[in-house]
Amino acid sequence: MRILLTLLFLALLVLGVWTFMDAHNHAWWLPPNVSSYGGDIDRLFYLILWMVGFFFVLTEGLLVWCVFNFGRKRTTKADFTHGHHKLELVWTAVPGLLLLVITFTQMQTWAKVKFKSNFPDVKPTCEVWASQFDWRMRYPGEDGKFGTVDDIENPFEFVVPVNEPILFNLRSRDVIHSFFVPYLRLKQDAMPGMVIPVWFQVEKEGSYDLVCAELCGWGHYKMAGRLKVVSRAAYDAWLKKSKEEMNSNGSEDKS
């Protein structure tokens, strides 16, 4: 049993580390980041991963050794010790210090992403309305104001220009939803009754999945959207085309 248990814990240790190191080969890892602050978040993620990985190997390793070595049958009694003051101090102070370091390195990024004072000084691109079970992006029309009749409502697709800071107002029609774009490392709950400003900047054109990350009912799993990041020229063209479509007289439906 001693050998079996040693092997089991050793397997946990080895496979535990190996699965993390091998994960990106199977795409069981962070999707590529395309946002301006995503890199900061990823760096913090990796900082914690290494620290946590070190302590994982250390403690599990000690456990494996203890089981292997002290699980042997012996005729003598165990070491009769109740504690060691200095050791306690060391393993309180060192992790404590490391934890404080982790804490303080996080603060700047959090402020950068979420504090209003750090938001880019731009006008909101659109209002993103979350509802059961749809994302609707409402762009202001010619008058530049939200909530007027010439607003352009685009279901499912959130179109934005690349390499520009984008501010939008996140709102909910009914229950709590959450705006999550994995490729951007961006998440913000949409709270009914509140208007929550959110900002991001995307550095690569493409289409990125937008998912709902807060249980909102039976359709939570299918509440998909798409963040479509295009060049400024393409964005302007799309916006212009959408405004024209608003004024359609239906002739595109003529048979």
Partner 1 sequence: MRDASTTAHAVHAAALHPGLGAPGTVHEIHEHHEIGFLRKYVFSTDHKVIGIQFMFTGLVFFLLGGLMAMAIRWQLAWPWTEMPVVGRVLFPNTGRVISPEFYTMLFTMHGTIMIFFVIIPLLTGAFGNFLIPLMIGAPDMAFPKLNMFGYWAMIPAILCVLMSFALEGGGPAAGWTAYPPLSTIEKAAPGSMHGQTFWLLALTFVGASSMMGAVNYVTTIVKMRAPGLTMMRLPLSIWGLFIAALLQLFALPVLTAASIMQVLDRVAHTGFFTPTNLLVNQMTPESAGAAAGGQPLLWQHLFWFYSHPAVYIMVVPAMGFASDILSTHARKPLFGYKPMVYSIMAIAGLGFIVWGHHMFMSGMNPALGMTFMVSTILIALPSCVKVFNWLATLWGSRIQLTSAMLNALAFVAMFIIGGLSGIWMASTPVDIYIHDTYIVVAHFHYVVFAGSVFAIFGAIYHWFPKMFGRQMNETLGRIHFVGSFIFTNCVFYMMHQIGIAGLMRRTADPYAYDVYAHLQPLNQFISISAFCLFAWQIFFVVNLFHSIFWGKRVGRNPWNACSIEWEAPSPPGHGNFDKKLTVHRGPYEYGTPEVAEDYLPQARSI
Partner 2 sequence: MHYTLSTATKTSLASAPEVQDQILGSLEMLFGTPQNPSYLRTKDWADAEFDPNHAELAADAGGTGELAESEMNGVKADNLVRFRSQLEQVARRDYAGLAEFKSAPHLSDRVAAIVADKELAEDKRQADLKALFENYYPSLRDSTELYRQQCLHCHGVEGGGDGPTAGSVEHPFLDPRPRDYRLGKFKFTAVKDKARPRRQDLYRVLDQGVYGTAMPSFRRFSAAERWGLVDYVRMLAIRGEVEHDLVITFQDDEHLTAEAPLAAFQDVWTKWQAAKEKVVVFEGEVPAPTPAMLKRGDELFHDAKKGNCASCHGDMGLGDGPAAYKLDDQGHRVPAYTDDWGNPILPRNLVQGLYRGGRRPIDVYRRIYAGINGGPMPGIGESKDADGKLVLPPEDMWALVHYVRSLSERDEAVAGGPIHGMTPPGEGGGGGN
Q: How far is the CB of 151 from partner 2 (least distance, A)?
A: 8
The item of partner 1, partner 2, none sharing an interface with residue 255, based on CB under 5 to 8 Å by kind, is: partner 2
The item of partner 2, partner 1, none sharing an interface with residue 34, based on CB under 5 to 8 Å by kind, is: none
> Closer CB to partner 1, residue 8 or residue 237?
8
> Closer CB to partner 2, residue 35 or residue 125?
125
Site string for partner 1, 116-145 (x = CB under 8 A): x--------------xx-------------
What is the spatial distance between Cα 144 and Cα 86, in angstroms, rounded to a whole number?
67
> Closer CB to partner 2, residue 96 or residue 197?
197
The item of partner 1, partner 2, none sharing an interface with residue 25, based on CB under 5 to 8 Å by kind, is: none
- DSSP-H helix ranges across the chain: 2-22, 38-70, 85-114, 232-246
The item of partner 2, partner 1, none sharing an interface with residue 57, based on CB under 5 to 8 Å by kind, is: none
- The tokens of 180 are what? 């999550």
Nearest alpha-carbon partner for 6 in 64, 69, 70, 74? 64
Q: Between residue 46 and residue 65, which ones bind partner 1 under the rule CB under 8 A?
A: 48-49, 51-52, 55-56, 59-60, 62-63
Report in angstroms the alpha-carbon separations of 135 from 113, 120, 127, 180, 198: 22, 24, 10, 12, 15
Contacts 24+ apart (CB under 8 A), 120-125: 120/165, 120/167, 120/199, 120/201, 122/164, 122/165, 122/166, 122/167, 123/167, 124/167, 124/168, 124/169, 124/197, 125/160, 125/166, 125/167, 125/168
- Binding to partner 1 by residue 45, rule CB under 8 A? yes
The item of partner 2, partner 1, none sharing an interface with residue 140, based on CB under 5 to 8 Å by kind, is: partner 2
> Closer CB to partner 1, residue 115 or residue 144?
115
- Binding to partner 1 by residue 215, rule CB under 8 A? yes
The item of partner 2, partner 1, none sharing an interface with residue 189, based on CB under 5 to 8 Å by kind, is: partner 1
- Sheet (strand 225-230) strand order: 157-161, 225-230, 206-212, 177-181, 186-190
> Closer CB to partner 2, residue 23 or residue 224?
224
